Amino acid sequence: MAVTEGAAAETLDVERVRADFPILAREVNGRPLVYLDSAATSHKPQRVIDAVADFYARHNANAHRGIHTLGEEATELYEDARARLARFFGAPAPETIVFTRGTTESINLVAQGWGRTVLREGDEILLTEMEHHSNIVPWQMTVEVTGARLRYIPLTDDGLLDLSGLDALLTERTKVLGVTGMSNALGTITPLAELIAAAHAVGAVVVVDAAQLAPHHAIDVAALDVDFLAFSGHKMLGPTSSGGLYGKAELLERMAPMLGGGEMISEVFHDHATYKSPPYRFEAGTMEVAEQVGLGAAVAYLQELGMDAVRAHERAITAYALERLAEAGATIYGPTDPAIRGGAVSFWYKDVHPHDLAQILNEEGVAIRAGHHCAQLVMRRYGTPATARASFYVYTTTQEIDALIAALATAEAIFA
């Protein structure tokens, strides 16, 4: 399978895992930190912190610039991180991985470099109503200059994609299908294999937002036959401003660069320039070398844990959280079956506004997110201005879920 569920995988030794994350020893407001906001950004294990520090302490130079020792070491570490990511995602070659600052930049790169080159008036881009703004706004900007049209796959009442009308939405006019692998607002895991096959049947290119899927699931881009896949390193234990884009080689070759400048060129003349082959065509200027080296260390850490075990832990902790939240009287948005959802649980608790709730929970040392989660189409679909969201990762424990429930009771008492 391209995305493995790993239900029978060996479970994580969470206490051993937690020992690798120095920030988890912190206290907030005199209480042990309970961090339930990993969908926004994950914490970093010590080896990732060490990899970044070691780069600056011993190897700091600009990659692909100097032929001196430090320059060659920086280039080797940078390209080793690219190769690690290619293996992690089952990509056919390191050259199919373009380094970016994360999912937002990756999707903008596709929307501008591929979409504005290929799309014409009358073409259609099919998105879903559960998309993060990062997989909506770049396409809105693209249709403004191409004359293409946006269409959307709707949502069911229980937080799934409504595929009953897919045949009418996917037509010969559809040139792009943009879809999240897992909703950051609903936790819904989308049926990527089914959607990709349907899109390819009409000749459409598929762009997958894997910001939430990649941290928890094994993904094989070759087996999925996905055209583009965007991911954010900071959500998968890596540094901020790390991440990238996988693209099929033939599509990357057709893409125009989004940024022009140093190191992405082959030759520059007075009136024009020629560009390097991918991925370097898309990596203009000084890149986030240390951050991508850190992401390489994060990927190695995840591979040692085993992505089947990572997913099994996500399922188990999500099932426990859903049960405890329901018992506490919370209204949960999205599927309630942990087999078809991930560990980002949005909810409304009693009569307490999510922003007030988050503030009270912070006083108890519990960190959650409150707001529309950059998914306003989702909020409008379910008639709520915002939700509270608790999200989990490899270091989350059942005791932390219990702390969340206790903090909710405190908030209820304050607002009663």
Rounded Cα distance between 278 and 49, Å, is 29
Rounded Cα distance between 409 and 407, Å, is 5
User: CA-CA-CA-CA torsion for 89, 93, 94, 98, nearest 10 degrees?
Assistant: -80
Q: What is the pLDDT of residue 5?
A: 38
Q: What is the pLDDT of residue 3?
A: 36
Contact status, residue 348 vs residue 324, Cβ threshold 8 Å = no
Return the sign of the alpha-carbon dihedral for residues 407, 413, 415, 416: positive
Positions marked active-site? 374
Which amino acid, residue 403? A
Reported in sequence order, the residue ranges of 88-240 that DSSP labels E, i.e. its strands, are: 97-99, 124-128, 149-153, 174-180, 205-209, 228-232
Location of each CATH 3.90.1150.10 domain in the chain? 14-44+306-415
Q: What is the pLDDT of residues 159-212, one digit of tens each?
A: 999 999 999 999 999 999 999 999 999 999 999 999 999 999 999 999 999 999
Tokens of 354: 């999510």
Rounded Cα distance between 48 and 32, Å, is 23
DSSP 219: B
Contact status, residue 286 vs residue 40, Cβ threshold 8 Å = no
The third-level CATH classification (topology) of the domain covering 48-304 is Aspartate Aminotransferase; domain 2 (3.40.640)
CATH 3.40.50.300 applies to domain 14-44+306-415: no
Segments of the chain scoring below 70 in pLDDT:
1-10
Q: What is the pLDDT of residue 7?
A: 38
Helix (H) or strand (E) holding 230: strand 228-232
What's the count of helices (H) and strands (E) in the chain, helices before strands? 15, 17
Q: What is the pLDDT of residue 62?
A: 95
Residue 329: φ, ψ to 5°? 95, 15
Q: What is the pLDDT of residue 10?
A: 60
Location of each CATH 3.40.640.10 domain in the chain? 48-304
Rounded Cα distance between 205 and 227, Å, is 6
